[in-house]
Structure 1
Amino acid sequence: MTTENIAVTLIRGDGIGPEIVDCTLTVLDALGVAFDWDVQQAGMEAAKEGGDPLPAATIDSIRRTKLALKGPLTTPVGGGYRSVNVSLRKEFKLFANVRPARSLFRGRRFEDVDLILIRENTEGFYVGVEHFIPIDEDPKAVAEASGIITRSACRRIAHFA
Structure 2
Amino acid sequence: TVQGGVGDVKAAGNYAASLLAQKEAEAMGCDQVLWLDCCERKYVEEVGTSNIFFVLDDILVTPPLSGTIMPGITRDSVLALAKDRKVEVQERPIAIEEVLEGCKSGRLRESFASGTAAVISPVGAFQYRQQEYIINENEVGPLTKEFYQTLLALQTGATTCEHKWQIRVC
Instruction: Note whether the superposition's TM-score is higher than 0.5.
Output: no
Considering fraction of residues, name the structure with more strand.
1
TM-score normalised by length of structure 1: 0.24
Q: Based on CA coordinates, which of the two structures has the bigger radius of gyration?
A: 1
TM-score (norm 2): 0.23
